[in-house]
Amino acid sequence: MLTREEAKKITDRVLALTTFPECAVSLRNSETASIRYAVNSVTTSGFQVEQQLSISVTKDKKTGSTSVTEFDDKSLRDAMKRAEQLSDVAPPNPEFIPGLGPQQYANFDNFVDATAAARSAAMIPAIRAVIEGARAKNLVAAGFFERDATVSVIANKHGLFAFERSTDSRLSTTVRTPEGSSSGWASSQSPDISKIDVAAVAAAAIGKCDRWRNPKRLEPGKYMVVLEPTAVSDLLPLIGSQFSARSAEEGRSFLSKKGGGTLLSEKLFPDFVTLRTDPFDKRNRGMLWTNGGIPAAPVTWIEKGVVKNLVYDRYWAQQAGQKPTPAANRLMLDGGTDSLDALIAGVERGLLVTRFFYLRVVNAQTVQYTGLTRDGLFLIENGKITAPAGNFRFNESPVRLLQNIVKMGVPERAQGGEGEGMIAPALVVKDFPLTSVSDAI
């Protein structure tokens, strides 16, 4: 992996190749080791080294951008020349904002050597444990175990330079019956590969598969649901991109006020809803900057149900006379103290959702999404799980989901197959619209 000094040498070399007043460079170097398995056997696996350098140059507000993976002198010179030529023919960008000067970034390093060093030989025992656990119950495991070590760098002609290195690892597994009558899923993520709880992942996926056999078909309709943290982490982060001050002001967002203006400072959610960004939570990989170099910082988007902040990129902040804000990612929803079992115990009739699948936007303005339940849906009656339930399609917005929360569990890092995940509690949510049945197992 590139060290800070090596990265600085490269970005200095690139910045020196242009006489343009504006040049921004970003550099990414990563190593990834992964093992994929299915049908109780290893399938495709790999070790990948990647690097990419992106250059953006601007003169007279005319910007040209390029990126390369070759870092030899000729390639870098050619890349710079290409970016300058693109800039020559590009029309001026009236929304161009000059690069930031040097910034103060947090002293946050979440790089774990053991994760960066792990290769197939070190990762195989985890896969073996999952497969053997499944096989012992005559079940079939598929899954993915991946770790990466990544260096990210930004620099520009105004003296900005920032270097960040981070690691992360992820294990997820799906356990199915051989004839395909049931499926269970579980996952674990951590910057420290030694904290991946293989036994818990295997037990949870196998347990779900065992309990979900022959699901009962229920009628579509509005249900009280208990969403496990993974299900919350699939759906809720989709609200993040909708905090844009620009789209709110322009009448294109759920935060637009009818007749003009925004819903900033309005109370849209229950008192117990607080949604935040915390880029320095050690459960996540690091993130020192967003939006072109703005230092990452904790931001509260919704506080006790009130919309507290909107996202201002540097251009819109300048137009609006506001300070630029970091992006609304690395989300955390404050939770309560109840365990998942306690949340289930409080539901008279409802459904427990393991995770969601194939989420796609239906209406960007209301943030309405459609998607399906997957890998374990259970009927709750009188506070107890009484039967496996057949899958459903839903059409719902995370905005309405936040408005309909009844109770919250303890937050944890969660990530399904949809997006970057978040720190999410399990939630009890009323009136969740399940619109049609799915025969999928």
Partner 1 sequence: MISRRTFVGSAAALALSERLFAAETAAAKPSPELEKLGALALNEAKRLKATYCDIRITRYRNQTMAVRLNPERGTGKTLVVPTVADSGSFGFGVRVIANGAWGFASSPFVTMAEITRITGEAVAVAKANSVLQTKPVELAPVAAYRTRWVTPHEKDPFAVPLAEKLDLIRAAANEVKKSDRVFSSAAQMVFRSEDKYFASTEGSSIQQLCLQSTGGVNATAVDTARGLSKSRRFQAPPSTAGYEIVPVMNLLENASRVREEVQEHLAAPPVTAGKKDLVLLPTHLWLTIHESLGHSTELDRALGYEANYAGTSFLTTDKLGKQRVGSDIVNVWGDRTNERGLATIGYDDDGVKTTKFPILEKGIFMHYQTIRDQAHLLGEKESRGCCYADSWGSVPFQRMPNVWLEPGSRDTSLESLIAGVEDGILIDGDGSFSIDQQRYNFQFGGDAFWEIKGGKKGRMLRSVAYQAKTTDFWTSCDGIAGPAYFQQYGALNDGKGEPAQSNAVSHGCSPARFRQINVIQTD
Q: Could you say which residues in the range 204-263 bind partner 1, by CB under 8 A?
A: 246, 249-252, 256, 258-260
DSSP E strand boundaries for 157-233: 161-176, 183-190, 221-227
* Count of positions on this chain that bind partner 1 (CB under 8 A): 111
Of 137-145, 160-168, 191-199, 276-284, the window that binds partner 1 (rule: CB under 8 A) is 137-145
* Signed CA dihedral, 356, 362, 364, 365: sign only: negative
Three-state DSSP class for residue 369 = strand
Between 142 and 331, CB nearer to partner 1: 142
Residue the block writes with tokens 């990612």:
329
Q: In sequence order, what are the beta bridge partners of 167?
A: 149
Of 83-91, 155-163, 269-277, 341-349, the window that binds partner 1 (rule: CB under 8 A) is 83-91
Question: Shortest gap between Cβ of 370 and partner 1 (angstroms)?
Answer: 5
**CB atoms near residue 27 (< 10 Å):** 24
Contact residues for 132 (Cβ-Cβ < 8 A; gap 6+): none
Question: Shortest gap between Cβ of 420 and partner 1 (angstroms)?
Answer: 13
Distance of CA 48 to the CA centre of its chain: 22
Question: Shortest gap between Cβ of 341 and partner 1 (angstroms)?
Answer: 27
Task: List binders of partner 1 among 6-45 (CB under 8 A).
Answer: 6, 31-32, 34-45
Between 71 and 108, CB nearer to partner 1: 71
Between 51 and 300, CB nearer to partner 1: 51
Q: Identify the residue among 4, 8, 28, 90 touching partner 1 (CB under 8 A).
A: 90
- Residue 433 tokens read as 């619209």
Of 75-83, 221-229, 286-294, 405-413, the window that binds partner 1 (rule: CB under 8 A) is 75-83
64 binds partner 1 (CB under 8 A): yes
Q: Identify the residue among 16, 363, 381, 420 touching partner 1 (CB under 8 A).
A: 363
Phi, psi (deg, nearest 5) at residue 111: -100, 120
Between 125 and 159, CB nearer to partner 1: 125
Q: Which of 336, 335, 331 is nearest to 276 (CA)?
A: 331
Q: Is the separation of the CB atoms in 396 and 363 below 8 Å?
A: no
Contact residues for 73 (Cβ-Cβ < 8 A; gap 6+): none
- Residue 145 tokens read as 């175990």
Question: Shortest gap between Cβ of 393 and partner 1 (angstroms)?
Answer: 6
Site string for partner 1, 106-135 (x = CB under 8 A): ----------xx-xxx--x--xx--x----
- Residue 25 tokens read as 């460079």
Q: Is the separation of the CB atoms in 238 and 367 below 8 Å?
A: yes
Q: Is the separation of the CB atoms in 409 and 335 below 8 Å?
A: yes
Question: Shortest gap between Cβ of 47 and partner 1 (angstroms)?
Answer: 4
Question: Shortest gap between Cβ of 238 and partner 1 (angstroms)?
Answer: 13
Task: List binders of partner 1 among 384-423 (CB under 8 A).
Answer: 391, 393, 395, 397, 417
Task: List binders of partner 1 among 320-359 (CB under 8 A).
Answer: 320, 357-359
Q: Is the separation of the CB atoms in 64 and 56 below 8 Å?
A: yes
Question: Shortest gap between Cβ of 10 and partner 1 (angstroms)?
Answer: 8
Q: What are the CA-CA distances from residue 395 to residues 123, 228, 276, 358, 407 (Å)? A: 39, 18, 25, 12, 21
Between 286 and 371, CB nearer to partner 1: 371
Between 362 and 410, CB nearer to partner 1: 362
Question: Shortest gap between Cβ of 72 and partner 1 (angstroms)?
Answer: 5
Task: List binders of partner 1 among 292-311 (CB under 8 A).
Answer: none
What type of residue is 240? G
